[in-house]
Chains A and B, each alone.
Chain A
Amino acid sequence: MAVRTTDCEGFARRDFLKIGAAGVFGLSLPQILELEARANAPAGRQNRRADSVILVWLAGGPPTIDMWDLRPNAPDGIRGEFRQIPTTANGIQICEHLPRMAQAVDKCTIVRSLAHTIPSHGPATVFMTTGNKPTPAVNYPALGSLATRLLPAAAGVPPYVTFGEVRNGAAGQAGYLGTAYNPFIVEGAAANGNYRVRGITLPNGFTLDQLENRNRLMENFDRGFQAADRNADLVDGLDAFHRQALEILRSNRTRNAFNLNQETQAIRQRYGMTPIGPGALAARRLIQAGVRFVTVTLGGWDTHGQNFNALRTRLLPQLDQTLSALIEDLSGHGMLDRTMVYCAGEFGRTPRINRNTGRDHWARSMAVVLAGGGFRRGYAHGTTDVQGMPPATEPCSPDDIAATIFSNLGIDPHQELMTPSGRPIQLFREGRVIPRLLS
C-alpha cells in the first residue's frame, strides 16, 4: 500500500497485509447475570436510547478545520485550499471533498467545539478512546471495554470488536477491567473484501459433533477439579469463557457476520474497497448480530506535509464514501435509531498552515461527528472563531462526549467501577452530559 504507515512520532501502524485473528471476550457468569439484571431494570431500559456504538477512528489527527469546520473568512495561511458546500442540514456547510457526507449530515451532529490540551498522538488517543485524561496512575478502559462491561452481551458473538488495532494495542484495551474486556481484534485487510478470522471457526476436519464429544469428555475429566479448593473468580471465569467459546463455535452468528459474500455487490461497492470499506460493512453486520461496540480505523491523517493533496486525493474520498455508506446503510436498515456512530481522531490540526503545506497537531479546537442513538439530526454544536482558534461558544471535552454517549446507552456516566486494587473509579469523573447534543 502506498499509504504512510508511520506517524510523525515514529509510530508504525500495523501493516494491513497480515491476516490473523483475534481475541475474544467474555464475562464471568455472575457478571453476566448482574448486567442483565441491571440492564433490564426499569430505570436502565427507559434511559437507554441506543444499544451499540461504531467508532470510526481516524488515526493520526484529522484536519477537521478542512473537513467539518471550515474557516472561509480566515486570512491566507489559515484558510486552506478547500471551499465549503451546503449540506442537507440547514445552515451547515462542510468541505467540498465530502459530497456524499454532505447528503448525510441531516442525520448527524457535528461537534465543532471539542477541545483538549494534549497534542501528542499516544496520550491524546487514550483521552479520546477512554474518555478520561491519561494518567500513569490508572489504566483507563476504552469506551468499548466499558460498554462490554456494562451492557448485556448477546450470545454467540464477541461483544467488542476492533478492525485494526488502535495504536498497535496501546489503546482500545480494557485497562483496569482486566483482559476479559479486551476487544476481539480483526487483523489484516480483507482479502478480496472478505475476512478470515481465526479462532471463531472450527478448523478443517473438526466437526461440530466432534466438538460436542470432546467437550463431554473434557467435562468428565475436569469434574474432579471442581471438588478441590479453588479461587472462585478464576475458575468461574474459565467456565464462563468456555461456555461462551462453545456458543461462538456452535452458532453461525459470528462467522456469518464476517462473511461479506452474503451482501450484494452493490452494497459492497457502495462501502468501497477502501481500507475501512469492508470493515465498516462488517461492523454493520456485527451490530446486527448483537455486537455492542465496533471500532474501524482509518489511518494516515497525520498530515504535517502536503495536507491538501493527501486529503483531496486519498483521505477524504475514502472517508466520504465509507462513512456516508455506513450512516445511510444503518438508516436504511432501521438501525440508526439504536446505533451510534462516532467519527473522531485524537486531535485536530493547526489553523496555521506550515512550510510544507501541512498542518501540525492542534488539540485546542477540533471537530467530531456523531450520528444515531439519541443524537440530534442535522445539528452543528458550538463554534470556533474565524481563525479556527479555541472554541468561541459551547466548548466541550472528550470526556463530555463519552459521558453523553454512555448516557444514551442507559449508563450513568458517574457510576463507579472497582479496580483490581479495590479503588472505586467513576466512569467519566470530569465528563458532563451535553443535553444540547440530544434530541
Chain B
Amino acid sequence: MERLILSSRVYQFSSRTNETNKLDKNNYAHSYVRPMMAEVVVDVLNSALGTSEVFAPTPNLKAKVKINLPSMKSDIHAIELGTSLVQSPTAAYAFRIFGRPPRSSACDCERAMDPALPQKLYLMTDPILMGKFNNPTGRLQGLLKSKMSDEEILEELFLATLSRRPTAADRKFFADYRQTESDRRTVFIDTLWALINTREFILNH
C-alpha cells in the first residue's frame, strides 16, 4: 500500500507553485496555506511549550466500576475529545475563539476557519498561555536549566514551534536582540513569544 502511494504519479507532484498555477485558488492546484483547526491549535501550542492541557478534572468516583473517560487520558489529543466533555474554561475559551463548532447545528459550516482578532489577542496576551512559558516542567524552563548554549536553545525553540532550523537571518536577529537584553531568561521568553506569534506558526503551510 505504501509503495502504491509513494510511486503514484500524484505523489510525485510538487507542492510548490510554478508559473502556470501560481495564481490558482481552486481545486488544489497547489498546496495552499491553510489555517489550523481549533483543536490542532490547542495541541500545537501545548506541544511547542511542552505543557499539557487538562480538559476535564478527573471525576472523584467512589464507584466500584472502573470508568474510563477519554478526558482522563493524559496524552489525549484535543481532536479526540468530544465538545461536551471539555470542562476546562481555558480550553473552552481557546476552542471557541479558534472556531471549534459548538455543535448547535448539524452543519459542517459551523466550524469557523477564518482568522480573527480574538485569536491574535489570545496568542499575544492570554495570561494562562503566558504562564506556560514559566511552567517548571515546560520546554523553555527545561532548556534554560540544561547546559545548552544560546544557539542550541534557539535551534530547539525553532524546531519546536516552526519545525525548522533558524536561518542565518534569524540567527542574526536573535544575536542582535541578545545584545540588547542582558537577562537570559527574558531573552528566551521573548523569543518563544515571538515564535508563537508568527504567521508561520499559526498557519498550516
Contact = CB atoms under 8 A, between A and B. Distances in A.
Interface of A: 18, 20-26, 139, 158, 169-170, 178-180, 182, 184, 198-204, 206, 210-211, 213-215, 217-218, 220-225, 228-231, 234-235, 237-239, 241-242, 244-245, 248-249
Q: Which one of B124, B167, B180 has the highest number of Cβ atoms from chain A below 10 Å of its Cβ?
A: B124
Contacts of A206: 125, 130
13 contacts: A20-B89, A24-B120, A26-B116, A26-B117, A170-B104, A180-B115, A214-B193, A217-B177, A218-B193, A220-B169, A222-B200, A231-B33, A241-B120
B170 A221 contact: yes
B27 to A, nearest CB: 14
B136 interface: no
Given A158-B117, A222-B200, A234 B125 contact: no
B167 to A, nearest CB: 6
Contacts, number: 148
A214 to B, nearest CB: 5
Contacts of A242: 120, 197
B89 A229 contact: no
Given A221-B195, A234-B35, A229 B16 contact: yes
Nearest to A173: B112
A403 B44 CA distance: 44
B22 A238 contact: no
A228 B122 contact: no
Given A179-B116, A228-B205, A229-B17, A217 B121 contact: no
B40 to A, nearest CB: 16
B86 interface: no
A220 B116 CA distance: 22
Interface of B: 16-17, 22, 25, 30, 32-35, 89, 93, 96-97, 99, 102, 104, 109, 112, 114-122, 124-127, 130, 167, 169-170, 173-174, 177, 180-181, 190-191, 193-195, 197-200, 202-203, 205
Contact of A179 (B34, B114, B125, B127): B114
Given A180-B116, A203-B126, A214-B190, 11 more contacts: A24-B120, A26-B120, A179-B112, A179-B115, A180-B117, A203-B130, A210-B190, A217-B194, A221-B170, A231-B32, A234-B34
A197 to B, nearest CB: 11
Contact of B167 (A213, A217, A224, A238): A224
Contacts of A210: 190
List the 7 closest A-B pairs by CB distance, nearest first.
A24-B117, A218-B194, A23-B118, A220-B173, A222-B198, A26-B117, A217-B194
B115 A221 contact: no
Contacts of A249: 121, 124-125
Contacts of B118: 22-25, 182, 184, 199
A180 B116 CA distance: 5
B89 A238 contact: no
Contacts of B193: 214, 218
A397 B35 CA distance: 40
Given A20-B89, A210-B190, A224 B117 contact: no
Contact of A230 (B89, B122, B191, B205): B205
